[in-house]
A = this chain, B = another copy of it.
């Protein structure tokens, strides 16, 4: 779980994921074309993505082919859908709370409650 979130917590990596998703079987060099950093840096990012199982790869001749793997994102999506469903439901309550909190904060500038 850590690995997936950590992998996704980087804009370049999310972009790589998008590229791989839209170009299944692409090589390291293919991915490199979209970035200003060195190939080694790209490879390291790809490794992070692969360790999080967000992509899978296989060697084919002298290139390595990358594929998007939906499973981890699916798992998180499913978990959120079930685990936080109470919050989806109580969304209105949350908005109400936030309005209340903001009101108190504003008042706090003038007097203590």
Contacts and interface: CB of A to CB of B under 8 A. Distances in A.
Interface in A66-113: 67-71, 73-74, 76-77, 80-81, 84, 87-88, 90-91, 94, 97-98, 101, 104-105, 108
Contact of A91 (B2, B70, B87): B70
Given A58-B101, A67-B101, A68-B87, 19 more contacts: A1-B14, A2-B10, A5-B5, A5-B8, A5-B9, A5-B10, A6-B6, A7-B9, A8-B9, A9-B9, A59-B108, A70-B84, A70-B91, A70-B94, A71-B94, A74-B88, A74-B91, A77-B77, A77-B88
A26 interface: no
Nearest to A24: B97
Q: State how many copies of this chain the complex holds.
A: 2
A68 B67 CA distance: 36
A11 interface: yes
A28 interface: no
Contacts of A10: 2, 5
| Closest A-B pairs by Cβ, 7 of them | A5-B9, A6-B9, A70-B87, A5-B8, A9-B9, A5-B5, A77-B80
